[in-house]
Structure 1
Amino acid sequence: MRDGKISLIRQAVRAMLGGLVASLLVVAATPAGAQDDDQRAVKARMAGSALSWAAENGRLRQFMEAFPKGGDIHSHLRGAIYAESWLEWAAADGLCADMSVPALRFKVKDSCAASGWLTAGEAQANEDHRRELINSLSNRSYVPTLNWSGHNDFFATFARISASPKRLGDQLANVAARAGRQNILYLELMETIILPELFPLLSGVQLSSDLAADYQTLMSGPFGQAMPTLVASARTQIAAARARKDQLLRCGTANADAGCGVKIRFLHQVIREFEPAMVYGQMILGWALMKDEPMMLGMNLVAPEDGRVALRDYKLHMRMIDHLYTNLGPRNVALHAGELTMGLVRPKQLTFHIRDAIEVGHAKRIGHGIAVGYERDSEGLLKKMAQEGIMVEINLTSNDTILGVKGKDHPLVLYRDMLVPYALSTDDEGVSRIDLTHEYMRLYTEHRVPYFELRHSARNSLTYSFLPGDSLWESEACKKDVETGAQAGAECAAFLETSEKAKLQWELEERLRVFEDERRIPERKRTSFK
């Protein structure tokens, strides 16, 4: 009996050794490049296994925070700031707190008390007032009640925020530092740099809906005369904000914050809930800024898509964009479209917004796109988006809060099935009390997206960014170097020098290689049972 067991063991060992030798022979017979390809794929699979282990062992946050996430390309700067920061800045700058709302306000009389308000400093020092303000300036502690939805709670926050214009640089430092801690390389921030100055120039101007004639009306009046000054002011503000950000983060010093390594660019944010002259004027200014200011890479329309004016003038707004695109030259356009759902608006208004944004508004990216299933010929529209590479920006928490759409009801399921490119983004992380790491965690837990697809989403955020230059994936030499895990060869290196976008994509690939080299399921040294 004992001899039989020994015989079986010997057979097993011989079989194991034979398999090992066979594996070594296969590796030896495999070309070096293919071996490298296999090694890169193996490391990525091991990272996927480490992800599963992390999710089951209370370490999903740590895994996703370290995961290189590319960029956040759907982020409103104003909405990205947490309420506590707004309150701290308001207190330092002598602003007021109207606790009847609650909201932060600029002084309108000699003192805050003269208006029946507290100073922001007094409100900050009182724990009850501080709590109420934080809740009012964000979705923290939000609970649905009669006549007050998540949609209402979300959009109401913006009118409650007041901040000194000098804080633009502080805002950039705030979001850059947060991104740096999460291994994010790039932020494409929506911001309205110029707005109050436009009201005296455009208020009362009546348009005819003949967009060529309306353009001439605006440009021949006070608005057109002020255009050089407006563009110069915006450029000055951007430069000052960047310098302030670098100062706050100690960029260029030995103690530089991780946020110094985060590249930041802007999208010109047009607020669409105004009368046509004001909206058209904002767009025209945006076209000029995108031409003259390298930091301004594109344009977007903002404010609730279900607002009275936004619905009334939706087709007009798309025509405005088309006129400027056709007559002043192409620009990068990303549009909030389909941030709607059944019950929020009438059914007819769910059927055309995304298609019009693409076919009339020249959108290269769609923000949210929740109503895509209601679009006329939605299957045809999805195929068009897939074929033409029109990306959808997915904001899971925002869609849940504002529209009540999540999980299997989220059209991400449909976009993935139809191979429409997508990337995760935060929308308004300060209002929602989240960050991009949270959204990656949510994508994994709610949709069970595998590691390879998480990596694909991170890559998409840079591929479909508006950074200038060709994509890394358009260079066969660079694609090969990425696949083999090699350093950039001469041909790839030369290509990288021609493209700002490709350079950042290459940096993402380097970070992914380091990340995947380090991800392992740890060996258990002890257990909680000992």
Structure 2
Amino acid sequence: MTRIITIFCILIAQLGFSQSAASHLEKIRNNEALLTAFFQQMPKGGDLHHHFSGSVYAEPLLERAIAEDFYLNLETMAVSKTKPENGNWENFSSLTKKGKLGYYEQQIMQTWSVKDYNGSVPSDDQFFDSFQKFEPTIKGHFAEGMLELKKRAISENVLYIETQLSTIPCDMNVSDLTDFNTKLRQVATQKDEKAVLKLLDELYKSLQKKDAKKYAEDFNTNFIAKLHKDLKMDDENFTMRYQNFVLRFMEPVDLFKNLVIAFISSSESKLTAGVNIVSPEHGQTSMKDYWLHMVMFKYCHSKFPDVKYTLHAGELTLGLVQPEELTWHINDAIYVAGANRIGHGVDIAYEANSYDLLKYMSQKNIPIEINLASNEFILKVKENRHPFTLYKEFNVPIVISTDDAGILRSNMTEQYVLLAKRYPDVNYETIKKYVYNSINYSFIQDESVKKQLIKDLDNRFKTFEAKFSKN
């Protein structure tokens, strides 16, 4: 009886803390500065929709380009380690001598990120084009970026990041398999899933003969495991895992080759938390091959059933593509590919049978990764145009993420500020649930690691909520 009373008292105390924090949130909901202070300190669990290269801020990338005397394209603001043959390129040391460095630094910051964005180019172009401009500064410097992200996460009380770190290097010669590109697209046009799966099976066997597994093993051992261990990424304050990913704009054979290797990698390493597919969803090849890509994921799942995968789906809106193209991407990501999570999902209101789709996501516990700042900048979708409330009303599990905080000049705290400010019906307990979702729905393979993160989250919330009980 004494033990029961003790447990009851603890629960009451915890509820009191929570209600005090909840009351404070309601008082400050319309003040952005107060919200920022509140959410900066609140434990924020994990960031599950996270692109490594887009999450590193432009300042250290620019410093690196200057220090290593990269060449700068004076028209596009792209950089290169060596001087390309075509274009107007000049190295940073030369610009410094001429007294022009400051002028170009400002332009670079405005091109590599959304800093001071003035609408001179379409927002989606501004965002997606930035990656290739600074990409040369990332190569060989993953460690610096990982440590920057860890430091920032700890400072704003984020326990976990599930980042898309790098594609898996692969020099496999598949020139003898290029006929499959035409064959796959022909049967995909007919939506003949059985024929596609048969071709993929032939292609898979050919890739096995070319020793696809060695590329996955090399990546796991000599890149992921080595970096993770050398940098001591996991400690009592922080944990990081890595999603493998493939690029939508590639030809079918190359994409499938990379997808198979990505699945092999994730199946053999506890550090690789699943697979993803990236690049602009509205790109020409992305749109043309979208259904084919979904069948590829379905096929790989049949070979590696324990590997989880989240798919960028529905990162589209009216005007970006033709209206009929808004009706099927999330449907196919879930019903065809069998995605375990969905990233963005912005076009859900336009999807065919959207209510049934939302009910299915809720019943099957398929979370939606909500990226408020990203969706606002890239798609111009925000507030009541954003489908957040639609997902909430249908009880689809929700996780809050940053997407590309470096390019977007944002952080995890801002995502929660936007959430609380724009959706006043979302109370503290619901927000807290989203925080826990970000750990519970993570792709962490080691259950003991996940349990420890939940325990840490419990303790952090107790400390955070105790601050308000004393007020």
Most deviating of 228-237 and 76-85: 228-237
| 2:20 is equivalent to residue 43 of structure 1 | no
| 2:77 is equivalent to residue 92 of structure 1 | no
Q: Quick one: which of 505, 514, 517 aligns to 2:463?
A: 514
Name the counterpart of 1:166: 140
CA distance, structure 2, for counterparts of residue 82 and residue 128 of structure 1: 19
Per the TM alignment, residue 40 of structure 1 is displaced from its structure 2 partner at its CA by 1.2
Q: How does 1:405-420 map to 2 (within 5 A)?
A: 405-420=381-396
Per the TM alignment, residue 221 of structure 1 is displaced from its structure 2 partner at its CA by 5.6
- SS at the partner of 1:367? strand
CA distance, structure 1, for counterparts of residue 395 and residue 65 of structure 2: 46
CA distance, structure 1, for counterparts of residue 79 and residue 209 of structure 2: 31
Question: For residues 212 and 121 of structure 1, do their structure 2 counterparts lie closer, same or farther at Cα, with a shift above 3 Å needed?
Answer: farther
Name the counterpart of 1:397: 373
CA distance, structure 1, for counterparts of residue 222 and residue 240 of structure 2: 16
Unaligned runs of 5+ in 1: 1-27, 252-258, 471-498, 523-530
Q: How does 1:66-85 map to 2 (within 5 A)?
A: 66-85=41-60
| 2:459 is equivalent to residue 500 of structure 1 | no
Per the TM alignment, residue 227 of structure 1 is displaced from its structure 2 partner at its CA by 3.7
Q: How does 1:186-265 map to 2 (within 5 A)?
A: 186-195=160-169, 197-198=170-171, 200-201=173-174, 205-207=178-180, 208-209=183-184, 210-217=196-203, 219-220=205-206, 224-225=210-211, 227-243=213-229, 245-246=231-232, 261-265=237-241
Q: Is the 8 A contact 2:270 2:445 kept in 1?
A: no
Per the TM alignment, residue 432 of structure 1 is displaced from its structure 2 partner at its CA by 0.4
Per the TM alignment, residue 323 of structure 1 is displaced from its structure 2 partner at its CA by 1.0
CA distance, structure 2, for counterparts of residue 399 and residue 287 of structure 1: 28
- The one-letter code of the counterpart of 1:180 is I
Unaligned runs of 5+ in 2: 185-195
- The one-letter code of the counterpart of 1:232 is D
CA distance, structure 2, for counterparts of residue 219 and residue 203 of structure 1: 13
Q: Quick one: which of 428, 441, 452 aligns to 2:429?
A: 452
- SS at the partner of 1:44? helix
Name the counterpart of 2:90: 118
Map Cα deviations across residues 85-121 of structure 1 (whole Å, 9 max, x no partner): 1111222333222121011212046xx9x97423245
Name the counterpart of 2:114: 139
Question: For residues 97 and 241 of structure 1, do their structure 2 counterparts lie closer, same or farther at Cα, with a shift above 3 Å needed?
Answer: farther
Aligned length: 450
Name the counterpart of 1:153: 126
Question: For residues 199 and 348 of structure 1, do their structure 2 counterparts lie closer, same or farther at Cα, with a shift above 3 Å needed?
Answer: farther
- The one-letter code of the counterpart of 1:51 is L
Per the TM alignment, residue 163 of structure 1 is displaced from its structure 2 partner at its CA by 2.0
Question: For residues 292 and 108 of structure 1, do their structure 2 counterparts lie closer, same or farther at Cα, with a shift above 3 Å needed?
Answer: farther
- The one-letter code of the counterpart of 2:406 is G
- The one-letter code of the counterpart of 2:456 is E
Map Cα deviations across residues 417-450 of structure 1 (whole Å, 9 max, x no partner): 1111101100000010000001111111111222
Q: Quick one: which of 119, 137, 149 aligns to 1:175?
A: 149
Which is greater in Rg?
A: 1
| 2:438 is equivalent to residue 461 of structure 1 | yes
Name the counterpart of 1:296: 272
Per the TM alignment, residue 234 of structure 1 is displaced from its structure 2 partner at its CA by 4.6
Q: Is the 8 A contact 2:70 2:92 kept in 1?
A: yes
Q: Is the 8 A contact 1:180 1:260 kept in 2?
A: no
Per the TM alignment, residue 238 of structure 1 is displaced from its structure 2 partner at its CA by 1.6
| 2:327 is equivalent to residue 351 of structure 1 | yes
Q: Quick one: which of 294, 298, 306 aligns to 2:282?
A: 306
Q: Quick one: which of 385, 406, 414 aligns to 1:430?
A: 406
- SS at the partner of 1:153? helix
CA distance, structure 2, for counterparts of residue 446 and residue 239 of structure 1: 41
Per the TM alignment, residue 42 of structure 1 is displaced from its structure 2 partner at its CA by 1.2
Name the counterpart of 1:387: 363
| 2:302 is equivalent to residue 326 of structure 1 | yes
- The one-letter code of the counterpart of 2:69 is G
CA RMSD of aligned residues (A): 2.6
| 2:260 is equivalent to residue 284 of structure 1 | yes
Q: Is the 8 A contact 1:139 1:431 kept in 2?
A: yes
- Which structure ranks higher in relative contact order (CA pairs < 8 Å, sequence separation ≥ 6)? 2
Per the TM alignment, residue 240 of structure 1 is displaced from its structure 2 partner at its CA by 3.5
CA distance, structure 2, for counterparts of residue 421 and residue 313 of structure 1: 28
Name the counterpart of 1:485: none
CA distance, structure 2, for counterparts of residue 156 and residue 394 of structure 1: 22
Give the TM-score normalised by structure 1. 0.79
Per the TM alignment, residue 462 of structure 1 is displaced from its structure 2 partner at its CA by 0.4
CA distance, structure 2, for counterparts of residue 275 and residue 269 of structure 1: 15
- The one-letter code of the counterpart of 1:102 is M
Per the TM alignment, residue 151 of structure 1 is displaced from its structure 2 partner at its CA by 1.1
Per the TM alignment, residue 38 of structure 1 is displaced from its structure 2 partner at its CA by 2.1
Map Cα deviations across residues 124-183 of structure 1 (whole Å, 9 max, x no partner): 8821111100110011111224xx321111111111112253201111111111101011
CA distance, structure 1, for counterparts of residue 331 and residue 342 of structure 2: 10
Q: How does 1:258-273 map to 2 (within 5 A)?
A: 261-273=237-249
Name the counterpart of 1:525: none
- SS at the partner of 1:102? coil
Per the TM alignment, residue 326 of structure 1 is displaced from its structure 2 partner at its CA by 1.3
